[in-house]
Chain A
Amino acid sequence: MGEFAIGQPVTRFEDPRLLKGGGRYVDDLAFPGMLYGHVLRSPHAHANITRLDISKAKAAPGVRAVLIGEDWAKSGYGDLPRAEGKKKRDGSPMYRPHFPALAKVKVRYVGDPVAFVVADTIEQAQDAAELIEVDYDILPSVTSVALGSQPGAPLVWDDCENNICFVHLEGDKQATDAAFAKADHIVKKRFVISRVTAATMETRGSIGHYDQAADRYTIYTTLQRALNFREELAETLNIPESRLRVVAGDIGGSFGMKSGVFNEVGLVLLASKVTGHPVKWVSTRSESFLADAHGRDNVSDAELALDKNGMFLGLRVHNLVNMGSYTQPGTDSGAYSNLGTLAGVYLTPAIHVDVTAVYTNTNPMRPFRGNGRPEAAFVIERIVDMAADELGIDPAELRRRNLIPPEKMPFQTGLSFNIDCGEFEKILDLTLEMADYKGFEARRAEARKRGKLRGIGMSFTIEKAASPGYEGAEVRFDRTGSVTVLAGSVTQGQGHETIFKQIVSDTLGIHPDEIHYLQGDTDQVFFGEGTGGSRTASLGGSAVTVATGKVVDKAKKIAAHMMGVDEVDFAEGVFTARQTNRTLSMKDVARAAMSPKNLPQGMELGLNATAAYHTTKQNYPNGCHIVELEIDEDTGQVEMDRYVVVDDVGNVLNPLLLKGQIIGGISQGVGQMLMEQIRFDPTSGQNLTGSFMDYAMPHAEIFPHIDIKSNPVPTKTNLLGVKGAGEAGCVGALPAVGNALVDALSHLGVTHVEMPATPERLWRIMDEAKRA
């Protein structure tokens, strides 16, 4: 519908409300009689609890309950959801530790919940927590994934040998070995992908409410997949899903982090049951560094085999992936489900990847924007640049030689990706042009005169989006002809409301002001999974499209009946009787559908439709990033000067929102490459980056204008021809910036820069090179 049609740069419908403080986040909710919970957390990375005395805390003013590990064990609830399905190298099942909401005998990371104090006010709960006496017998700990799997490392779980959670093998080992045997040139490198935290604007939070009379639980919480959450949580609580309602209001960012069923969810529900009151817990910012799941953190040993012409023959990768101390469904997925990105946009015939997932005394892990994709992209795109450097071939040219041409699609890569469509060479050319790649050396020489080392870096990455799965949508007309659209996916700020309203408006001809969007309440939304893996536009968008299609089909029949014709046409919200000039609007029909006299014999009243859309095929967003930056020779400070992107995320539903996604993703990629990192003290296992005073976040001021163009190649794997856009920016940014840094320093003999490339790290690299 006109300015709101699919493809238009519609400004976000949710923004006026959110910007005016009208958001309704968990912490904005209050219920009569609500109590407040505070989690007492382990100060040690690994320790036995030898004594736990809560008597003083229980007697403190305002305190209603103090829960400890024993209370959880006696509650009748089970473990929090646990990962399953993977195997160890010998074929035995993966190590799946029990996962109670409170540690009972042993704590396994700094932040592991030990007790939950519930009081009339949060201050009382905090005061009381200080009265809990805990004696710890401190044990040796291990936080590094590289050290964790080594023989003799401290064991996170006593019966989990070498801390190995599982092993995953992918690709063709024999073919890969053969490719390496005949290679003219082999490039080898160990890449360390740092650990980061999502640092969402809204911290995690939950309100648990057990309604004794109805024997039913409600949890208001921060999440990504409401219906999946209900299924997993119902299992933990040992109740049928029908006795559990999960509600997500506005959510201020997640990036994968909020996708678990965390300890505090179980705690507020148990506390509500024990006290008979609703119980709220909201993480403080400081607590979030200790208690949130972290992302990434792996070590990749990669080898690329090439022939003398620079054609990639084979790729071999060994990954060690940090699982943290406990695993939930999804914790493990970053280790294996996106390895396909390692194959890149290249023809490489033989690839083999060997992944070992390792427990350590660190926070549990969750997917973080990209969930394995940026990690894999970094490895392949860095090693391609290293190969270009070693062979003396321009990095753009080396890529060009190896790109998969459109005529070879669908193309089965050496890993799991079967790429349906894409125009890689065209995108490469477009990006080189936008970046004025040819003019770079002149800019480098000019910068040199100013004491700046200028570098250019590119990445051409591909990832999978919208993995096989399903999504639900419902369109409900009310009696006046306005609409409610309900979706199974849940927004954390991406703008689902805008996209879905655009689709409904465009397909039904209803003005967006008359469309109400509803999400995240499992008592209202009938079907779906939720958000994650860049799936909402593809799957959720298709589900809404199917639902509106059903509405149109039914409405056409009603309109034809009302106008006394056999068939009607429908366009722009108007039904036209063929060969007459009679018309009815969608609203007319919707109103009429409430009265039996307007309907054909036997037709159900009302104009509503539900749709469950599923797909068996993922899509493959891809894109080329080129960044130019300058390093201050004296200080190591980095200034990005230009950043260009050409992406293919299929059809563009809303270019404004797309740009937002790409820029947001780039920011997180740049953040990780240049400054962000969760660090632990290697001996004590303490988190050294427990606040924004130590955990560096990228600010808007460090970014140049980011120039984004789209080259849409629509996919046939969903109804809208869209590809995922949520993670693409992050995937491309990490290696592009990494490559630019190395390029800036390559005249000093530098071949790699570890992340985060802080000013001091770069200064030391330059200083050492000068001394050498």
Chain B
Amino acid sequence: MHNFNYHRAADVADAAAKLTATEDPKLLAGGMTLLPTLKNRLAAPSDLIDLAAISDLKGISVESGEVVVRAMTPHAVVAASAEVQKALPALAQLAGNIGDPAVRHRGTIGGSVANSDPAADYPAACVGLDATIVTSQRKIAADDFFVGLFETALEPSEIITEVRFQIPDRAYYMKFRHPASGYAVVGVMVAQFGAKVRVAVTGAGPCVFRVAEMEAALEKSFAPASVANIHVSAEQLMGDIHCSAAYRAHLITVYARRAVEAMVG
């Protein structure tokens, strides 16, 4: 680890001010991604601005048709929240299957979303549940937020403050865990909002994406058979030594079908 200056931000405005006032700053949330990166000397920020003391950034609320998760809320809190379990069980279940207990108690939704790790689970929830990412400066639709591999629409000085998920009629998330890391090799969120259906896939591509063909088929007929023969091209997908792009493409179909099975079953 290289040396850095440590700041404990008092509130979002303070954090934002420090972000612009320092040379090469990084926000610190749960540190589950950032700290290993620093320890492995893969990044050397001049300043770390810790969001941990900002109480405004913690907590969950369910408001008219939305589940609002504040940025510094750890995964374990989302998973255990009775409100989330009631209003949007798929989200609680997703959060409860991230990493391991230590990671779930430290890692935060803000950190996860900001990082846009191609294998992270939350992006599937954001896009699948038509979420809005609220930052210190604006509101960004999830569809526009995830831009590419570890790339988002966030400006360097922007801080995520909360994520607002639309509550669907029903939704289901299924994840194939990576044999080594436990991250998503393929994670599929299927959500039904009236006549509209969203199918969001994480893990397989450079960042989360929707499968329009599956959405259309499910909007026509919401049944497992509708997606059972829809295949995403492996060409746009990623592969590693454990799971090739072709395998991931296959898993997307299997997991979409199973998610729908679980929803109609």
Contact = CB atoms under 8 A, between A and B. Distances in A.
**A and B: interacting chains:** yes
Interface of A: 123, 126-127, 286, 634-635, 637, 675, 679, 688-689, 692-697, 758-760, 763-764
Given A688-B241, A689-B241, A763-B247, A123 B3 contact: yes
B251 interface: yes
Interface string B170-183: 00000010011100
Contacts of B3: 123
Nearest to A763: B247
Nearest to A760: B247
A688 B241 CA distance: 8
A693 B241 CA distance: 11
A127 B254 CA distance: 48
Contacts of B41: 126
A541 B241 CA distance: 45
6 contacts: A126-B41, A679-B241, A694-B181, A695-B180, A697-B180, A760-B247
Contact of A635 (B1, B176, B180, B241): B176
B241 A694 contact: yes
B236 interface: no
Give the 9 A-B residue pairs with the shortest CB-CB distance, closest first: A696-B180, A696-B179, A760-B247, A693-B181, A634-B254, A675-B179, A694-B180, A760-B243, A688-B241
B239 to A, nearest CB: 10
Contacts, number: 43
Interface in B210-265: 240-244, 247, 250-251, 254
B2 to A, nearest CB: 7
Interface of B: 1-3, 40-41, 176, 179-181, 240-244, 247, 250-251, 254
Nearest to A689: B241
Given A286-B40, A696-B179, A696-B180, 8 more contacts: A635-B254, A675-B179, A689-B241, A693-B181, A694-B180, A758-B179, A759-B179, A759-B247
Given A123-B1, A760-B243, A693 B254 contact: no
A123 B2 contact: yes
Contacts of A693: 180-181
A113 to B, nearest CB: 19
Given A760-B242, A760-B243, A692 B2 contact: no
Contacts of A692: 180-181
Nearest to A697: B180
A760 B181 contact: no
Nearest to A130: B41
Contacts of B251: 635
B193 to A, nearest CB: 28
Nearest to A679: B241
The residue in B3, B40, B251 that gathers the most chain A C-beta atoms within 10 A of its C-beta is: B251
A688 B176 CA distance: 22
Contacts of A763: 247, 250
A409 to B, nearest CB: 43
Contacts of A760: 242-244, 247
A268 to B, nearest CB: 22
Contact of B242 (A127, A635, A696): A696
A758 B177 CA distance: 12
The residue in B240, B244, B247 that gathers the most chain A C-beta atoms within 10 A of its C-beta is: B247
Contacts of A286: 40
A123 B1 CA distance: 7
A679 B180 CA distance: 13
A635 B177 CA distance: 12
Contacts of B242: 694, 696, 758, 760
A629 to B, nearest CB: 15
A695 B247 CA distance: 19
B1 to A, nearest CB: 7
A635 B178 CA distance: 13
Contacts of A758: 179, 242
A384 B243 CA distance: 32
A763 B254 CA distance: 12
Nearest to B179: A696
Contacts of A637: 176
Contacts of B250: 763
A126 B39 CA distance: 11
Contacts of A696: 179-180, 242
Nearest to A694: B180
Contacts of B1: 123
A509 to B, nearest CB: 45
A195 to B, nearest CB: 13
Nearest to A675: B179
Contacts of A126: 41
Contacts of A127: 2
A442 B2 CA distance: 61
Nearest to A702: B179
A193 B243 CA distance: 21
A637 B250 CA distance: 13
A637 B41 CA distance: 35
Contacts of B2: 123, 127
A15 B246 CA distance: 47
Contacts of B176: 635, 637, 759
A697 B181 CA distance: 9
A697 B180 CA distance: 6
B54 to A, nearest CB: 29
